[in-house]
Structure 1
Amino acid sequence: MVKAVVLGAAGGIGQPLSLLLKTNPLVTELALYDIVNTPGVAADLSHIATPAKVEGFLPPDDGLKKALKGADVVVIPAGVPRKPGMTRDDLFKINAGIVRDLATGIATTAPKAFVLVISNPVNSTVPIVAEVFKKHGVFDPKRIFGVTTLDVVRSSTFVSEILGDLSLAPSVTVPVVGGHSGVTIIPLLSQSSHPLPSNLSQDKFEALVKRIQFGGDEVVKAKDGAGSATLSMAYAGAEFTAKILRAVKGEKGIVAPTFVNLSADKTSGDALKKEIGKDLEYFSAPVELGPEGVVTIRPLGKLSDYEKKLVEAAIPELETNIEKGVSFIGSSKL
């Protein structure tokens, strides 16, 4: 029996994510929570002929607590989407408070659940969840994850486009490390399972890196003020959730890049800090998953000179993002 909970289930990411989780055979119970519309979303999904029982909850009458009771996995896509002209600071001010309150609910009702954070900015919201859990004395770094899978999905798609064959996309694997916004997104294209053409110009290579880093802007612009990356993010979120569920069930050898607290495995976390040359508390790296969450944090491996520069450029931004999340809880009343 596996209970999955989606917090923010009526939103642009939440609805398609809930649909995908309803179709996952490993999920036997699906609880949906949002400030509006969740009973309707749940009723709609409940008609789909898959085993998961679906129920929707609203804030009144302890809805959050009821949704979270007995949760095994909690996925958080709650928050407002980024709109044209909106800075990440604007986004942070709104979403930080939402994530803090939801994290408080998890810490007090389902502290052993695996928490998968989608709400942006992930580089700050994951530290927010962790700090809330620390204040409640239930912090386990092995069980809190920032979902960076969309960067991996985009890399697979864009590389297959350059190779001229989209049918390759499901099999193209590119490790993406660092964080989950702009310059903190570091695609390790030198380690791609499908090497780029040897005659690809430097200009086109750098354009590919930028497209992976700023793919979200491409979607925001194309939607012309009507939203951000919701469908692709829902797909990516469901993919990562599926990996967590498979690992919990005992499947071995599952590795996925994710933004984690590097104390989740002290030995490999300390080794990664030496590799990047900075004592960061959080970093996205390929993580081996197991029944307890993080098993080990894989090294970045051999980087090209260009990739080393990307890591150097990402570190100051990551430091700022992480500190912003930590400070937000430090100054909050829980």
Structure 2
Amino acid sequence: MKAVVAGASGGIGQPLSLLLKACPLVDHLSLYDVVNTPGVTADLSHISSVAKIEGFLPADDGMKKAFTGADMVVIPAGIPRKPGMTRDDLFKINAGIVKGLVEGIAEHCPEAYILVISNPVNSTVPIAAEVLTNAGKFNPKKLFGVTTLDVVRAETFVQAITGAKDPADTKIPVIGGHSGETIVPLFSQAKPEVKIPEDKLDELTKRVQFGGDEVVKAKDGAGSATLSMAYAGFRFAERVMQAAKGKSGIVEPTFVYLPGIEGGDAIAKETGCKYFSVPVELGKEGAVKANNPLGMANEYEKKLLQACYEGLKGNIEKGVEFVKNPPQK
């Protein structure tokens, strides 16, 4: 398994690369970024784990060398969110970065699983899909928007109510998108069942939706949610790798192109969105089946979903439009 981290020198990229270097499922780890990659690579190369490691800068065909032969490319590249900045503010800068990287994937490793972390995911995943489509290389089953941080936050914040020793033992589907009101935690579908006091529900929901703001504020201008995002990105990457190696029964929420996945058409019709995060069954070919939790949503969650659909449609269209009509330089 050759894994690539595109944006390996950044706040998410470094801890994510560390986790992948330590992962026994990774045989070959390739790091790529526009700065500092040799230093990050040298540092991680001293870790006594299975993965052989290489690092590349853009010079001397660096992208080609980094991407060729990749089984999986994880993309945390981009600038971090600063105080007062919405995920949407990041769009203009990060959209261009993601577009360039996905063009490289289409050329050098079109069969790889592609995991997009770069924000705003609601727009960057459609950008990736459009770029791959234009190159004749789009496989919807292998393109994933990583929304696992929303799931991790839901698990963590609910622990205060359940008192469970391990928060990850409580499975909570978080669906929709990956920013603000487009994030919809389905606490009613938690397993094992969770009883959330009515007076705590609004606060808990908002905390999952806007947990990133909590971190941005606490870091006081010094960055955004990098360590928790790296953990979440690794957790999803590990699930994809486990499925690729034949493990069955793996289901994870992820932001996907619904029409390209079994079960996705019905969800697209119901939501009015071609891209949506739902629990997806993973297999060797990537996304095997999209599971539809919408019919089991309670009245409270249905109201959240209406706000989600409206916000998400605009985000998706913005990503598609960026590729179809690129901004003038």
Q: TM-score range by the shorter chain?
A: over 0.9
> Take 1:256 and 1:278, find their aligned partners in 2: how far apart are those partners?
19
CA contact (8 A) 2:30 2:54 kept: yes
- Give, in angstroms, the shift of residue 196 of structure 1: 3.3
1:42-191 alignment runs, 5 A limit: 42-165=41-164, 167-191=165-189
Select the residue among 232, 236, 258 that pairs with 1:236. Answer: 232
1:260-275 alignment runs, 5 A limit: 260-265=256-261, 267-274=262-269
Note the alpha carbon deviations across 1:277-331, whole angstroms, 9 max, x for none. Answer: 3331100000000111110000115111001111111001100000000000001
> Given the two structures, how large is their TM-score scaled by the length of structure 2?
0.97
Note the alpha carbon deviations across 1:221-276, whole angstroms, 9 max, x for none. Answer: 010010000000000000000000011111111100000000222x51112234xx
Structure 2 letter corresponding to 1:281:
K
Identity %: 63
> Take 1:13 and 1:91, find their aligned partners in 2: how far apart are those partners?
15
Partner of 2:288: 295
Partner of 1:214: 210
Structure 2 letter corresponding to 1:292:
E
Select the residue among 312, 317, 325 that pairs with 1:318. Answer: 312
Structure 2 letter corresponding to 1:115:
I
Partner of 1:22: 21
> Take 2:37 and 2:94, find their aligned partners in 1: how far apart are those partners?
19
Question: Which blocks of at least 5 consecutive residues in structure 1 are unaligned?
Answer: none
> Take 2:200 and 2:121, find their aligned partners in 1: how far apart are those partners?
28
State the secondary structure of the residue aligned to 1:332. coil
CA contact (8 A) 1:42 1:54 kept: yes
The 1:89/1:279 distance shift into structure 2, 3 A limit, reads closer
Select the residue among 291, 301, 308 that pairs with 1:307. Answer: 301
Instruction: Give the number of aligned pairs.
Output: 326
Partner of 1:9: 8
Structure 1 letter corresponding to 2:173:
P
> Take 2:193 and 2:282, find their aligned partners in 1: how far apart are those partners?
26
> Take 1:283 and 1:145, find their aligned partners in 2: how far apart are those partners?
10
CA RMSD of superposed structures (Å):
1.2
> Take 1:258 and 1:33, find their aligned partners in 2: how far apart are those partners?
24
> Take 2:267 and 2:2, find their aligned partners in 1: how far apart are those partners?
33
State the secondary structure of the residue aligned to 2:223. coil
CA contact (8 A) 1:264 1:294 kept: no
Partner of 2:243: 247
> Take 2:282 and 2:43, find their aligned partners in 1: how far apart are those partners?
33
State the secondary structure of the residue aligned to 1:251. coil
Structure 1 letter corresponding to 2:239:
K
Question: Which blocks of at least 5 consecutive residues in structure 2 are unaligned?
Answer: none
> Take 1:89 and 1:253, find their aligned partners in 2: how far apart are those partners?
35
CA contact (8 A) 1:117 1:146 kept: yes
